[in-house]
Structure 1
Amino acid sequence: MNALHQYLFDAYRAARLDEPLPPAPGTYDVALFRAAVDRRRFERVLAARPARGRLWLRVAALRRRRGGGLGAR
């Protein structure tokens, strides 16, 4: 059973019991990613290292190459 099947079972159960629907799969993925990035930056600052590391440099280079936005084509 994958996440979509579990969501459908939970949504069906919630509808039958007049409870609020559960959040759809993937609803909080972006928030989770941002929290992980913030935590990593925080730990780097506590360790007296630059908060912007290799990943940031790669993203900045990619943005320059594509002309500004990550989604630009």
Structure 2
Amino acid sequence: MTAIEQYLIDTYRASQLGEPMPPPPGRGDVALLRSARTYFQFQAVLEGREARHPWWAAVRRLTHAHGAR
């Protein structure tokens, strides 16, 4: 069963029982990713490392990986 099918069943059940509707699947995904990023940045600060976004470090490694060839 997919997440959408389960959501539709839960929505139907909630409407029949007079309960609040469940949130749609994937609604909190962006908030979860942002909170995870904030947590890892906080851990970096506690460990004395740079708290920049890891993508910047990856871009820097890719662009300066082998220096001048």
Name the TM tier (shorter chain).
Answer: 0.7 to 0.9
The residue number in structure 2 matching 1:14 is 14
Task: Measure, in 2, the Cα distance between the counterparts of 1:30 and 1:54.
Answer: 17
* CA RMSD, 1 decimal: 1.6
Give identity over the alignment, percent: 51
Q: Report how many residues are paired.
A: 59
For residues 41-56 of structure 1, the aligned pairs below 5 Å read: 41-56=41-56
Q: Which secondary structure does the structure 2 equivalent of 1:15 belong to?
A: helix
Please list every run of 5 or more consecutive structure 1 residues that lacks an aligned counterpart in the other structure: 60-73
Q: Which secondary structure does the structure 2 equivalent of 1:14 belong to?
A: helix
The residue number in structure 2 matching 1:3 is 3
RCO higher in 1 or 2 (8 Å CA, sep ≥ 6)? Answer: 2
Please list every run of 5 or more consecutive structure 2 residues that lacks an aligned counterpart in the other structure: 60-69
Shift of 1:56: 2.9
Shift of 1:2: 1.3
The residue number in structure 1 matching 2:40 is 40
User: Can you list the C-alpha shifts for 1:10-55, whole angstroms capped at 9, x where unaligned?
Assistant: 0010000011100001110110010010011011011000001541
Q: Which moved more, 1:45-54 or 1:27-36?
A: 45-54
Larger gyration radius, structure 1 or structure 2: 2
